[in-house]
Structure 1
Amino acid sequence: MVLEFEKPIADLELKLQEMKELAKGKQIDLSADIESLEEKIQTLKKETFQNLTRWQRVQLSRHADRPYSLDYIYEITNDFVELHGDRTVKDDKAMIGGLGDVDGRSVMFIGQQKGRNTKQRQERNFGMANPEGYRKALRLMKMAEKFGKPVVTLIDTPGAFPGLEAEERGQGEAIARNIRDMFMLKVPVICIIIGEGASGGALGIAIGDRVMMLENSWYSVISPENCSTILWRSWDYKEQAAEALKLTASDMLGNKLVDDIIPEPLGGAHKDMKGMAVNLKAAIKKALDELDKIKPEKRIEDRINKFSAMGVVKE
């Protein structure tokens, strides 16, 4: 999958591949031309990805090859054991969670999971959790608290599932309960937006001591398309909506709504999943080391104060 703004880079990369095949097949020395083209591609990549618009970053966050929660979890943990069910309705496949070993330390991972193909997308409900998904997440958080294990949440959702059956089973109540109870968890809580962070669907697992975003993720009360539909009665203004929403990682950090940005490999996380996992693991370990030094009561107080200060204007 090649995005519109990536096409000039893809064209040069195709030309480079053809040049290499020609040099190999015809036994011609094209090393100087190949080196020059490689430098040109690298320069173009840097220029392109350093100057992405907000809408282009939204597109990157949805890239079909972008790593999902389980990709990262399996990469950075040993012996991950997935846990299932909310003990009330059923097991929601859009919300995953379980215990994993991070360099000798047991961590409770919770995240939204999307699918790669049509069957998986239907099974995972496109990463949109039902109430039982949020109740499963809270059950696992309480279990982590009981056994003194830190919680790491990986957020990647276009929103909580908006279907009638979800509302009938208490979607709003489930998210609200998660938000309330996450404030009071005695263990360290780290929340990371790895792709899309839309509305209450994201916020339902995003109350933590440290809230971080991957470089090409977004976090907002509404998606650009839905914002465009409400304001202009059409999806055609989604780029303007993205600019107005100021939903990128740098926007969120500037507004003090997140604590840190985790850099991605050049071209996006999907270009080097293992490298991205290394960056993610390092950020998690650094945050845990910092939070371990703070007493639980102080962590809870700081957590409450941090979120209470958001959006407050002093005149």
Structure 2
Amino acid sequence: MTETRLGAIVDMLRTSPLDMGGDPHKMRIVFDEMIAAHPVPADVRTTAARLGGVPALAVTAGDSEPSGAVLYFHGGGYALGSATASVGLAADIARRSGTTVHTVDYRLAPENRFPAAVDDAVAAYRGLLERGIPAEAIAVSGESAGGGLALALLVAVEEAGLPQPSAAAVLSPWADLTQSGRSHETKAFLDPALTRQALATRADDYLAGADPRSPLASPLFADLRGLPPLLIQAGSHEVLLDDALRLAAKAADDDVAVTLQTFPGAPHVFQGFAAVLAEGARALDDVATFLRTHLDGQRG
């Protein structure tokens, strides 16, 4: 990742009309328009489906026959984003890992409050199981709020006594809705996309008075014992850096196999710029290797 390319991405994010703490109805349009500016390659295929009654898109890429399923959750602070908007990143993961990535259109706040998104995540996971896909052939992933939702799903799966998926890879996860991480202060001047106030606004919309320390809202405060192997990635220039660092420490303390990767100078969800950022491409290659390893039965 050259400084020139990284600088261009950071400048683009700083001057973007997207306000993560802004009116969600307006910002959803801005968010989708930003994503649509990056066309999806012609060999990407999407199929609409319902998983446990929840709308989703099954995404594949390339010519090889996919093996294994990834249940994917998009970011957007629980208020923005969609399965359609996430197809580009989902396709990058599908291509590299040789899987079918099922990106989920979970319900958004403020129209649908906590735990609606978690309920949809669990329903979608049950939907894959009901299709006859064994848990060991399923992995879970997501970025930002979607990374937090992926973790909440794992906690809910454990509480429900369902079989855990083979592994989970979360990108810049929002795992603490209390915004208590030190990096909210130390990285505030470096993060071009997120602020503590914007995240607090989105958290308030999503929680609607619920306890932000609830394990299904903030998995950082959950008992993580019994969860499958985790891969956690974050950039060093994002206010959510401490969510990733503390999550990795909590997972290790709870006897979960965990791999933490941090990328110097990278902003929030830099993997979404893998087409132009070498670090983003390398990060997604590592995600694919991690997922493929565990989907192929080498869990550990």
Structure exhibiting the larger radius of gyration computed from Cα positions: 1
Task: Tell me the TM-score normalised to structure 1 length.
Answer: 0.38
Name whichever structure is richer in helix by fraction. 1
Relative contact order: is structure 1 or structure 2 higher (C-alpha 8 Å, sep ≥ 6)?
Answer: 2
Task: Tell me the TM-score normalised to structure 2 length.
Answer: 0.39
